[in-house]
Amino acid sequence: MGEQEVLAAAKKAIIDYDVEKAEQVAKDGLAAGVDPVALIEKGFVPGITEIGDLFDSGEVYLPELILAADAMKAGTSVCEAAFPAGTVSTKKKVIMGTVEGDIHDIGKSIVVSFLSANGFDVYDLGRDVSVATFIEKAKELKPDVIGSSALLTTTMGHQKALEEELREAGLRDKVKTIVGGAPASKEWVEKIGADAYAENAADAVTQVKKLCGIA
């Protein structure tokens, strides 16, 4: 397959919620010489973006959204394993997770992929992650940055609670924090005392680099 065929197949695998196909397309694409970052950005991301839009419009429901996210993870995992070593030699650790009560995983997973592509050591805690788990992993892994995602106004309060618990645990001055998700904003960052807000995956990379002092 040519590159355009691979990218089209990657997008279709996500739209079809086909985990095995997404993984196989990634393997075939890499074998054909398609750049792994391009495969994610121009193949899998457009597919998951389309599913996200359909979910927002009520044409796709939560079970399908989760299946699409699983297919996305399968494909991007293969791509991440093929990222060139030393893309960015940061050696910086980032913890990422979607807050408790929120099972929306797509945006966060894309951010994880983009950060990995830029050389960060990323620990994905998954979705529905409690504040206690964030704190536990922060103590264990000693990350440079903690990123939390919330897609609902009813769950974004956990981002504020995370800031409070980090201070309570004596960790807040040892780690930078970044928040994202549809209801988040720069104003929200200022209100809860976080360090940065990311509007999308590309912006997340930019902001995390700034937090880590990387030009």
Q: Which of 103, 107, 173 is nearest to 144 (CA)?
A: 173
Q: Which of 187, 183, 179 is nearest to 203 (CA)?
A: 179
Percent share of the chain, pLDDT over 90: 60
- pLDDT tens sequence across 79-100: 888 876 655 445 799 999 999 9
The mean pLDDT of 46-69, rounded to a whole number, is 83
pLDDT over 80 at 35, yes or no:
yes
Element (H, E) at 83: none
The mean pLDDT of 36-49, rounded to a whole number, is 87
For the chain, list the domains and their CATH numbers: 3-80 (1.10.1240.10), 93-211 (3.40.50.280)
Q: Which neighbouring-strand residues pair with 176?
A: 145
pTM, two decimal places: 0.68
Q: Give the pairing type, strands 196-197 and 145-149.
A: unpaired
Cβ count near 91 (within 10 Å)? 10
Q: What confidence score (pLDDT) does residue 117 get?
A: 66
| Residue 65 neighbours by CB under 8 Å, 6+ apart | 51, 52, 55, 104, 106
183 exposed, middle or buried (CB, 10 Å; 0-12, 13-18, 19+)? middle
Q: Which of 99, 94, 159, 95 is nearest to 129 (CA)?
A: 99
The mean pLDDT of 197-211, rounded to a whole number, is 90
CA-only gyration radius of the chain, Å: 17
pLDDT over 60 at 123, yes or no:
yes
Q: What does each C-alpha distance from 39 to 7, 59, 79, 115 come to in angstroms?
A: 6, 26, 7, 15
Q: What confidence score (pLDDT) does residue 72 get?
A: 86
Mean pLDDT of the chain: 89
pLDDT over 60 at 124, yes or no:
yes
Q: What confidence score (pLDDT) does residue 85 get?
A: 61
Q: What confidence score (pLDDT) does residue 144 get?
A: 97
Q: Where are the beta strands (DSSP E) in the chain?
A: 93-98, 121-124, 145-149, 176-180, 196-197
| Amino acid at site 171 | L
